[in-house]
Amino acid sequence: MKNISLISLLFAAILMVACSSETPDSSSSTPAAKSLYERIGGREKVKAIVEDIWNNHAKNPIVKDRFAGSDPSYVKKRVFEIFAAATGATDVEYKGMDMKSAHKGMNINEMEFNAVVDDVLAACEMHKVAQQERNEVLAILWSVRKDIVNPHIITDTLVN
Ligand code: HEM
């Protein structure tokens, strides 16, 4: 059920992102569109969101054990970099592994992936990121799903 609602949410997000793109106006010199990173609020806002992504993971029974042995400052640094770079920051470089290598052999299932997505979106909501920008974040997260989830793992959520 959770998977079905996440998929519906994703389609809604993609539709809303597509419908909200403005028609280019060739008659005037409009300023360049702001990146998603800028619209979310830039460096300090994204840093604060990443803090709460970590806090949410640490409280989330579905994924907290996954991060029990991790160094929080290392993970937060990498997650800040990837969040910033993926949303269009021009002054931040992602220095970590690609998503496939970073999660290789972890046997991450759909339920865990959805839980991480929920934690990210909840952190965005806590920091008052607007619906449009949250939809765009969701679409980015969904785009890396295939590199992170092992499709051969069947979870209780999928069976029941
Ligand atoms: C939803 C999209 C996800 C993104 C964008 C993401 C991003 C990242 C990044 C940037 C790293 C650091 C890579 C490096 O060390 O170079 C990482 C590591 C890791 N991720 Fe993910 N991740 C995602 C989903 C997940 C999920 C679903 C799980 C499991 C529940 C997970 C568990 C981990 C673990 C355990 C590490 C290693 C942390 C450490 O080094 O101690 N990730 N992830």
- Establish if 133 belongs to a structural domain: yes
Residue 29: inside a domain, yes or no? no
Mutation test residue for ligand 1: of 70, 148, 149, the one with most atoms within 8 Å of CB: 148
Evaluate: CB of 141 within 6 angstroms of ligand 1.
Answer: yes
Task: Give a yes or no: residue 49 inside a domain.
Answer: yes
Query: With bands split at pLDDT 50, 70 and 90, how would you rate the model's confidence at 132?
Result: very high
Per-residue pLDDT reduced to its tens digit, 56-102? 999 999 999 999 999 999 999 999 999 999 999 999 999 999 999 99
Query: Does residue 130 lie in a domain region?
Result: yes
Residue ID of nearest Cα to ligand 1 atom 26: 113
Within a domain: 25: no
Report how many domains make up the chain. Answer: 1
Q: Which two tokens stand for residue 49?
A: 């969101």
Q: Which atom of ligand 1 is nearest to the CA of 94?
A: 10
For residue 116, the enclosing domain spans 2-19+36-159
For residue 79 and ligand 1, the question of a CB distance below 6 A is answered with yes
- What's CA 15's distance to the chain center, in Å? 18
pLDDT in tens, 25-46: 555 677 889 999 999 999 999 9
List Cβ neighbours of 136 (8 Å cut-off, separation of 6 or more).
13, 17, 36, 87
Q: Distance between CA atoms of 32 and 30, rounded to whole angstroms?
A: 6
Asked if the structure places residue 8 within a domain, the reply is: yes
The model's pTM: 0.87
User: Nearest-5° angle of CA 100, CA 137, CA 37?
Assistant: 105
Which CATH number covers residue 10?
1.10.490.10
